[in-house]
């Protein structure tokens, strides 16, 4: 469809009188400069303000969210918090389906988002394709598209296990044929029931030839910090420097994955000074590293795979999420499963050296470390149990297999 506007802005003002008109005027101004704007209000506002036909027109339109009128201000705001984010997400989806995907969201000043079966999420816990949709419109579209036909799929297998996300699994089962079939780690690290699993991985990058596994063999149990940001994250030079100084400052042994393309950002002098305590590699066999008893802490970007690997192998985490689902994964690691901490960022979004050092010590020997280690052990056992004979994921895989009739 040919579009005659540069971008579509969805504006969601705080749904009280004082916020509606200023945002309406802002929306109109954007439209006059070539954008399309949608002003989202609540059903209550929509009905009670009786929006004049000429008031919102052309490329500006008003859309209502699914809030019923509520008796008191408190009840109204409570309802807003309970269903607001869901109905807003639905509206974004609807607009995308109608050929007008949203490029930018100007939201009300929310601090907490409540969604069904999720812990309360602060703005920094929300996936970046939702909280910062202006930066990643294509990514948001990609994610929304993945769920388009979910109800008509015969099966929707996903990489988790029932105990890990009990409520979420139930919620999904009510909506589609979702089955948790994870964790999808190689069997040799878990239940050891799949034969010939030794040659387990397909790698985008070649593991570094440096003898880091032998080096790990020389280190005491739980004494090494493993640092990796997965296959995509690109850190700023400043973040790289703070990370290096944080690792150096806590004086622990470390194994740090810095992809070839990221290496130029390493602060040469600081790295020289810390060479005696660790190794930097361009890619590792991460699962083997995490399974090594010398590793006592994983500083991670909280990608889902890394999170599952560490959780299933019982390694406590320091989460330094970057984008997409990573902030939400970090929320679960720190506040739901209790297997790590999330590092705080400064006002420029950078985790400073002191914070890195503090978090590593907190996880390895600090006040919370005993509880974190206990939880890590517990989840490791549950993960293994899910795939063992009769375990929840094993049963789900059986169900899937049984759905095929032998010719």
**Sites for ligand UDX among residues 250-279 (CB under 6 A):** 257
Least gap, CB of 285 to ligand UDX (angstroms): 6
* Cβ pair 148, 369 in contact under 8 A: no
Q: Per-residue x/- mask for ligand UDX, residues 230 to 249, rule CB under 6 A? A: xxxx----------------
DSSP β-ladder status, 36-42 and 8-11: parallel
Single out the residue of 23, 41, 184, 324 in contact with ligand UDX (rule: CB under 6 A).
324
Is residue 316 within 8 Å of 373, Cβ to Cβ? yes
* Contacting range for ligand UDX; rule: CB under 6 A; set: 187-195, 263-271, 283-291, 334-342: 283-291
CB of 332 to ligand UDX, least distance (A): 12
* DSSP-derived 3-state class of residue 285: coil
The reply on whether position 286 binds ligand UDX by CB under 6 A is yes
Binding footprint of ligand UDX, residue count (CB under 6 A): 18
Contact with ligand UDX (CB under 6 A): which of 23, 85, 103, 228? 228
Q: Is 225 in the site for ligand UDX (CB under 6 A)?
A: no
The helix (H) or strand (E) run that includes residue 183 is none
Which is closer to ligand UDX, CB of 304 or CB of 400? Answer: 304
Using a 10 angstrom Cβ sphere, with 0-12 exposed, 13-18 middle and 19 or more buried, the burial of residue 201 is: exposed
- Candidates 186, 304, 345, 378; binder of ligand UDX (CB under 6 A) is 304
One of 165, 325, 362, 394 touching ligand UDX (CB under 6 A):
325
Q: Does 355 bind ligand UDX (CB under 6 A)?
A: no
Q: Which is nearer to ligand UDX, 244 or 257 (CB)?
A: 257
Query: Does residue 87 bind ligand UDX (CB under 6 A)?
Result: no
> Taking CB under 6 A as the rule, does residue 311 contact ligand UDX?
no
Ramachandran region, residue 34 (left: φ > 0; alpha: ψ -120 to 50; beta: rest): left
The closest of 372, 392, 368 to 382, measured between CA atoms, is 392
> Environment class of residue 142 by beta-carbon count within 10 Å: exposed (0-12), middle (13-18) or buried (19+)?
exposed
Question: Closest distance between ligand UDX and the C-beta of residue 182, in Å?
Answer: 12
Q: How far apart are CA 94 and CA 87, in angstroms?
A: 10
CB under 6 A: which stretch of 12-20, 156-164, 301-309, 346-354 binds ligand UDX? 301-309
184 interacts with ligand UDX by CB under 6 A? no
The values of phi and psi at residue 342, to 5°, are -110, 130
Cβ partners under 8 Å of residue 324, min gap 6: 127, 128, 129, 139
Q: What does 71-131 look like in DSSP terms, one character per residue? A: SSHHHHHHHHHHHHHHHHHHHHHHHHHTT---SEEE----SEE--TTS--EEGGGS-HHHH
131 sits near ligand UDX (criterion: CB under 6 A): no
Interface positions with ligand UDX (CB under 6 A): 228, 230-233, 257, 283-284, 286-287, 303-306, 309, 324-326
């Amino acid at each position: 469809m040919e579009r005659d506007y540069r971008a579509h802005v969805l504006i969601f003002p705080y749904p009280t009188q004082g916020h509606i008109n200023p945002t309406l005027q802002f929306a109109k101004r954007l439209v006059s400069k070539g954008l399309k704007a949608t002003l989202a209000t609540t059903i209550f506002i929509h009905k009670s303000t009786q929006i004049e036909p000429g008031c919102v027109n052309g490329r500006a339109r008003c859309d209502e969210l699914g809030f019923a009128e509520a008796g008191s201000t408190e009840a109204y705001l409570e309802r807003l918090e309970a269903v607001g984010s869901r109905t807003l997400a639905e509206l974004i989806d609807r607009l995308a389906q109608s050929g007008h995907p949203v490029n930018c969201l100007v939201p009300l000043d929310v601090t907490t988002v409540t969604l069904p079966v999720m812990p309360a999420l602060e703005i920094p816990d929300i996936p970046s394709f939702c909280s910062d949709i202006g930066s990643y419109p294509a990514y948001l579209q990609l994610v929304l598209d993945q769920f388009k036909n979910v109800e008509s799929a015969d099966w929707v297998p996903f990489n988790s296990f029932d105990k890990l996300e009990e409520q979420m699994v139930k919620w999904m089962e009510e909506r589609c044929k979702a089955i948790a079939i994870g964790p999808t780690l190689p069997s040799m690290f878990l239940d050891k029931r799949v034969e010939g699993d030794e040659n387990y991985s397909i790698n985008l990058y070649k593991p570094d030839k440096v003898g880091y596994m032998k080096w790990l063999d020389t280190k005491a149990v739980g004494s090494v910090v493993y640092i990796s940001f997965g296959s995509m994250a690109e850190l700023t030079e400043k973040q790289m420097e703070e990370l290096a100084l944080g690792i150096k400052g806590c004086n622990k042994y470390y194994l740090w994955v810095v992809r070839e393309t990221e290496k130029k950002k390493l602060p040469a002098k600081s790295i020289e000074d810390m060479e005696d305590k660790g190794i930097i590699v361009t890619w590792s066999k991460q699962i083997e590293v995490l399974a090594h008893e010398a590793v006592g802490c994983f500083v991670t970007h909280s990608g889902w795979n890394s999170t599952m690997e560490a959780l299933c192998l019982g390694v406590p985490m320091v989460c330094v999420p970057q984008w997409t689902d990573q902030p939400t994964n970090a929320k679960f690691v720190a506040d739901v499963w209790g297997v790590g901490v999330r590092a705080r960022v400064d006002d420029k979004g950078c985790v400073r050296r002191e914070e890195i050092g503090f978090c590593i010590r907190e996880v390895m020997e600090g006040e919370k470390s005993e509880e974190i280690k206990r939880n890590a052990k517990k989840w490791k056992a549950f993960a293994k149990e899910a795939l063992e004979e009769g375990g929840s994921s094993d049963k789900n895989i059986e169900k899937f297999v049984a759905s095929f009739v032998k010719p």
